């Protein structure tokens, strides 16, 4: 049953049908499927396929855009599940943004929802965030962690530049830094000298807790 529903979701994303994506997501939630399974087994295979078709020239920017919109609509439908567990628990303060030159934000938004669902107070700087804006936010706020998202190989160097700018501004000891996004690896994270890397939003939440040595156990998390 759920396999069929996941396939419908995947197809809705590939075909960029946002209304279908929303209604299948709603159906999945009503059936009691978890946000994790809807994301990983329904939505992600669809958006990955769209990326593959784009990279081999079998689809173009408009398709990328409408599938991205369908993905955003579906994720919005899952938001109540993704950020359900926050309650009164205050895990810490998290600053997040997509690196300079990059406007991809669906993954960042999922990470944000998951963090909020696990008690983090999140400030989202948005997309295409210049280093100066990051440094100003870190200087003014009392954040525990700054997390960067990068989706393009050409914008990965912007993550490195942000770390260098934070260090140059004398702010590196003030904050832990994390990085993630489809082309990012642990090796890249090590190379640019950040404290943590996560391959997906679920891992990002666990990493945030471990970086700040918070005690909330994984089974208690959303
Ligand atoms: Co773009 N795009 N795109 N795109 N796009 C990719 C990334 C691409 C891989 C497609 C491809 O060619 N196969 C390719 C990059 C190739 C490369 O550099 N290696 C690409 C390209 C080339 C481009 C343009 C240059 C196209 C053009 O203009 N010719 C252009 C660039 C614009 C720019 O940023 N300057 C562009 C534009 C766009 C749209 C605007 C049309 C749209 C984005 C809409 C939006 O975000 N609001 C779009 C889309 C939708 C994609 C794909 C198809 C899907 C991205 C996505 O949302 N994935 C993508 C193909 C792909 O990724 N396979 C592609 C779903 C999302 C949930 O996953 O973001 O990976 P992801 O997030 C995951 C993890 O990575 C992780 O957790 C998330 C959830 O589990 N994660 C973190 C993310 N951030 C994290 C932070 C953390 C921890 C974990 O800690 C802080």
Could you tell me the CATH number of the domain that includes residue 69? 1.10.1240.10
* CATH number for the domain that contains residue 153: 3.40.50.280
Q: Which of 65, 88, 111 is the last residue of a domain?
A: 88
Using the predicted structure, report yes or no on whether residue 42 has a pLDDT greater than 70: yes
| Confidence (pLDDT) at 153 | 98
| pLDDT, tens only, 155-176 | 999 999 999 999 999 999 999 9
Helix (H) or strand (E) holding 94: strand 92-98
Higher-scoring residue by pLDDT: 42, 2: 42
Q: Is residue 132 part of a domain?
A: yes
CA of 89 to the centre of ligand 1 (A): 32
185 in contact with ligand 1, CB cutoff 6 A: no
Is residue 201 domain-resident? yes
- Residue 222 covered by a domain: no
Burial of 66 (0-12, 13-18, 19+ CB in 10 A): middle
Q: Are residues 74 and 130 in the same domain?
A: no
Banded pLDDT at 90 (limits 50, 70, 90): confident
In the chain, the N- to C-terminal Cα span, in Å, equals: 24
Residue from 52, 58, 64, 150 whose mutation best tests the ligand 1 pocket (most atoms within 8 A of CB): 64
**Sign of the dihedral defined by the CA atoms of residues 14, 17, 18, 23, in that order:** negative
Q: In angstroms, rounded to a whole number, what is the distance separating the alpha carbons of residues 214 and 194?
A: 19
* Angstrom distance (rounded) from CA 91 to CA 95: 13
99 and 56 in a single domain? The answer is: no
- Tens digits of residue pLDDT in 113-135: 999 999 999 999 999 999 999 99
pLDDT band of residue 143 (cuts 50, 70, 90) is very high
Q: What are the Cα distances from residue 101, in Å, to 6, 77, 128, 178, 213?
A: 33, 28, 5, 18, 32
Q: Is 204 in the pocket of ligand 1 (CB under 6 A)?
A: yes
Ligand 1 centroid – CA 110 distance (Å): 13
From 50-59, 73-82, 201-210, the region with the lowest mean pLDDT = 73-82
Asked if the structure places residue 38 within a domain, the reply is: yes
Q: Which of 56, 71, 88 is where one domain is finished?
A: 88
Contacts of 12 (CB under 8 A, 6+ apart): 18, 20, 21, 24, 46, 70, 74
DSSP, collapsed to helix, strand or coil, labels residue 209 as: helix
Distance 59 CA to ligand 1 centre (A): 15
Residues 72 and 99 in one domain: no
Residues 81 and 140 in one domain: no
Give the pLDDT score at 114.
Answer: 93
pLDDT at position 1 is 62
Q: Do 191 and 103 lie in a common domain?
A: yes
Last residue of a domain, one of 28, 61, 88: 88
The answer to whether residue 189 scores a pLDDT higher than 80 is yes
Q: Is the CB of 169 under 6 A from ligand 1?
A: no
Report yes or no on 33 lying in a domain. yes
Question: Range of 199's domain?
Answer: 92-212
Same domain for 55 and 151, yes or no, is no
Q: How many distinct helices (H) and strands (E) make up the chain?
A: 10, 5
Please provide the average confidence, as pLDDT, over all residues in the chain.
93
Q: Is 151 in the pocket of ligand 1 (CB under 6 A)?
A: yes
- Structure pTM? 0.95
Residues 140 and 117 in one domain: yes
45 assigned to some structural domain:
yes
In the predicted structure, residue 88 carries a pLDDT above the cut 80: no
Token pair 């994506």: residue: 21
pLDDT at residue 129 in the model: 98
Ranked by mean pLDDT, the top range of 7-16, 25-34, 82-91 is 7-16
What is the count of structural domains for the chain?
2
Asked if 98 and 170 sit in the same domain, the reply is yes
Task: Quote the pLDDT of residue 80.
Answer: 83
Model pLDDT, residue 194? 98
56 lines ligand 1 (CB under 6 A): no
Q: Say if ligand 1 is within 6 A of residue 139 CB.
A: no
């Amino acid at each position: 049953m759920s396999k069929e529903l996941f396939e419908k979701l995947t197809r809705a994303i590939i075909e960029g049908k946002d209304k279908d994506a929303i209604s299948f997501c709603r159906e999945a939630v009503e059936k009691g499927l978890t946000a994790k399974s809807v994301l990983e087994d329904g939505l992600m295979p669809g958006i990955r396929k769209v990326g593959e078709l784009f990279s081999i020239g079998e689809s173009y920017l408009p398709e990328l855009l409408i599938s991205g919109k369908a993905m955003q609509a579906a994720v919005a439908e899952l938001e109540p599940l993704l950020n359900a567990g926050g309650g009164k628990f205050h895990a810490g303060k998290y600053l997040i943004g997509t690196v300079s030159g990059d406007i991809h934000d669906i993954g960042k938004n999922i990470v944000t929802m998951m963090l909020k669902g696990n008690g983090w107070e999140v400030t989202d700087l948005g997309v295409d965030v210049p280093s100066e804006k990051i440094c100003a936010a870190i200087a003014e706020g009392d954040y525990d962690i700054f997390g960067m998202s990068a989706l393009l190989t050409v914008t990965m160097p912007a993550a490195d530049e942000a770390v260098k700018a934070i260090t140059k501004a004398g702010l590196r000891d003030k904050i832990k830094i994390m990085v993630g996004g489809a082309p990012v690896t642990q090796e890249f994270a090590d190379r640019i000298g950040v404290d943590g890397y996560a391959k997906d939003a679920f891992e990002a939440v666990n990493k945030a807790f471990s970086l700040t040595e918070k005690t909330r156990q994984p089974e208690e998390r959303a």
